């Protein structure tokens, strides 16, 4: 039993569960201090996130881009790079997606595929700049990505402010219907179509009141593809070797500069895919003038942290954060609890993730007691 407990404490997932649990406890104290009943608040949060089919779908939609931005950060991390530039890559991806979604004339299915490919290439190239600067001039990726994030936001605003690209001042042309990945997008736009959907019973509620789309399947497929790439291919092996010990990798004859650029390209491309899924899957299917970062990319960082730099867990971490974000709206309107509390809880989770080593420490202490020694 004790042995089992020690092993449990040492499992990577325990650290993440510990972080969530600790954040829940501290969050409860904050709720109490603010005069709310924490149990009711958490119950409300849970109901607001998954309590109704429609809510659950909204949670999934909110999680889709988080899965991908989390994956983007995780992927770079596997090569030993911290991709804080995921925000800028996401922004570049949205601009590319909107441009291709509006100006390309392609049939459905082909069109969104082209939009995604284009957004991935654009955002990938934008990410590769960071890798190139690091490989060639040894400029730290965090510095260059922070700068490039500003370049990205200003490029996006420039696009939106250019007459041929905007529909009205501050809003770019939306994508063509053919580029959308929203379920039954065409039907939802005509009264006859809406009437037909209404006959579908409880599904109609989801179809008409949410932007339910194919994005989640694309995101999950991307996660599994990344997992396959990293674990089963020689290029993935080399990327991981560069991440785990770049000196040894170089000494063994691996071209570490090439893999730094490649890793940032892939990481950026995943952020670009997140952007394309967001643009093609969520209304208003376009970009508007950005006075500040919208954090679609940055929000991938806590996801990756909670996922403990493993690939698959990004899905669960993103669903948790997506659910918290969406459920926050429900408790705000129904319980009068400010959404800031949820923001604080996400912050607390990240904070406690940093303390996950505590679990291993506890395991060591218990083990030492068992064997009657002290160190």
Partner 1 sequence: MHAVRMSGITKNFATVRALDNVDFKAEKACVHALLGENGAGKTTLMNILYGLYSADSGEVYINEKKTIIKNPAASIANGIGMVHQHFMLVGKLTVAQNVILGAEKTTLGFFNSKKIRNEILEISEKFGLRVEPDKKIENISVGMQQRVEILKVLYRGADILIFDEPTAVLTPQEISELTAIIKNLADSGKTVILITHKLKEIKQAAQKCTVIRRGFNIGTVDVCDVSEKQLASMMVGREVVFDFLHEKKNEPGDVILKIENLTVEDNRGVKKLNGFNLELRKGEIFGIAGVDGNGQKELVEAITSLRKIKSGSIKINGNEIANTSPANVIKNKINTIPEDRQQLGLVLDFSVEDNAILGKQNEFSNKGILQFEKITKHATDLIEKFDIRPSGCEKTKMKSLSGGNQQKFIIAREITNNPDVLIAVQPTRGVDIGAIEFIHRTLLAEREKAILLISLDLDEILSLSDTIGVIYEGKIVKTMKNENIDEEKLGLLMAGGNA
Binding residues (CB under 8 A) for partner 1: these are 232-235, 237-238, 240-241, 244-245, 247-255, 364, 367-368, 371-375
Those residues whose C-beta lies under 8 Å from the C-beta of residue 246, and which sit 6 or more positions away, are 80, 256
**Which sign does the torsion angle of CA 295, 166, 219, 282 carry?**
positive
Pick between residue 107 and residue 253 the one whose CB is nearest to partner 1.
253
Q: How far is the CB of 80 from partner 1 (least distance, A)?
A: 11
Pick between residue 168 and residue 247 the one whose CB is nearest to partner 1.
247
**Is-contact 210 185, C-beta < 8 A?**
no
Q: How far is the CB of 273 from partner 1 (least distance, A)?
A: 21
Half-sphere exposure of residue 346, counting CA atoms within 13 Å on the CB side? 23
Pick between residue 242 and residue 271 the one whose CB is nearest to partner 1.
242
* Distance in angstroms (rounded) separating the CA atoms of residues 84 and 196: 46
Q: How far is the CB of 302 from partner 1 (least distance, A)?
A: 24
With b meaning 16 or more CB within 10 Å and e meaning fewer, what string describes 222-257? Answer: bbeebbebbeeeeebebbbbbbeebeebeeeebebb
Using DSSP's 3-state secondary structure scheme, residue 166 falls into strand
**Is-contact 38 28, C-beta < 8 A?**
yes
Q: How far is the CB of 53 from partner 1 (least distance, A)?
A: 40
Pick between residue 138 and residue 234 the one whose CB is nearest to partner 1.
234
* Distance in angstroms (rounded) separating the CA atoms of residues 5 and 30: 30
Q: How far is the CB of 246 from partner 1 (least distance, A)?
A: 10
Q: How far is the CB of 362 from partner 1 (least distance, A)?
A: 14
Tokens describing residue 74: 């995780």
Pick between residue 13 and residue 248 the one whose CB is nearest to partner 1.
248
Pick between residue 235 and residue 358 the one whose CB is nearest to partner 1.
235
């Amino acid at each position: 039993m004790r042995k089992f407990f020690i092993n449990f404490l040492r499992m990577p997932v325990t650290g993440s569960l510990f972080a969530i649990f600790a954040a829940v406890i501290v969050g409860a104290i904050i709720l109490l201090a603010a005069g709310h009943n924490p149990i009711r608040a958490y119950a409300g949060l849970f109901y607001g996130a998954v309590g109704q089919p429609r809510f659950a779908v909204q949670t999934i939609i909110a999680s889709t881009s988080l899965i991908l931005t989390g994956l983007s950060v995780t992927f770079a991390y596997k090569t030993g790079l911290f991709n804080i530039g995921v925000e800028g890559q996401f922004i570049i991806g949205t601009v590319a997606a909107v441009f291709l979604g509006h100006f390309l004339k392609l049939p459905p299915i082909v069109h969104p595929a082209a939009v995604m490919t284009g957004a991935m290439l654009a955002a990938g190239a934008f990410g590769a700049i960071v890798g190139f600067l690091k490989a060639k001039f040894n400029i730290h990726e965090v510095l260059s990505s922070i700068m490039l994030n500003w370049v990205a936001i200003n490029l996006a605003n420039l696009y939106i402010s250019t007459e041929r690209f905007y529909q009205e001042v501050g809003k770019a042309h939306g994508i063509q219907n053919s580029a959308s990945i929203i379920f039954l997008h065409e039907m939802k736009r005509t009264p006859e179509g809406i009437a037909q959907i209404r006959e579908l019973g409880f599904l109609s509620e989801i179809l008409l009141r949410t932007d339910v789309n194919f994005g989640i399947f694309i995101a999950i497929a991307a996660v599994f593809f990344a997992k396959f790439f990293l674990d089963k291919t020689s290029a993935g092996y080399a990327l991981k070797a560069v991440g785990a010990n770049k000196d040894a990798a170089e000494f063994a004859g691996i071209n570490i500069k090439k893999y730094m650029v490649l890793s940032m390209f892939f990481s950026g491309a995943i952020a670009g895919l997140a952007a394309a899924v967001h643009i093609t899957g969520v209304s208003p299917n376009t970009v508007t003038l950005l006075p500040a970062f919208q954090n679609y990319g940055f929000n991938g960082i806590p996801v990756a942290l909670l996922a403990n730099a493993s690939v698959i867990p990004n899905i669960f971490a993103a669903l948790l954060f997506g659910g918290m974000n969406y459920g926050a709206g429900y408790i705000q309107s129904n319980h009068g609890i400010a959404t800031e509390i949820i923001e604080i809880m996400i912050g607390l989770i990240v904070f406690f993730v940093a303390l996950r080593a505590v679990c291993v420490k506890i395991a060591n202490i218990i083990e030492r007691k068992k064997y009657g020694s002290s160190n």
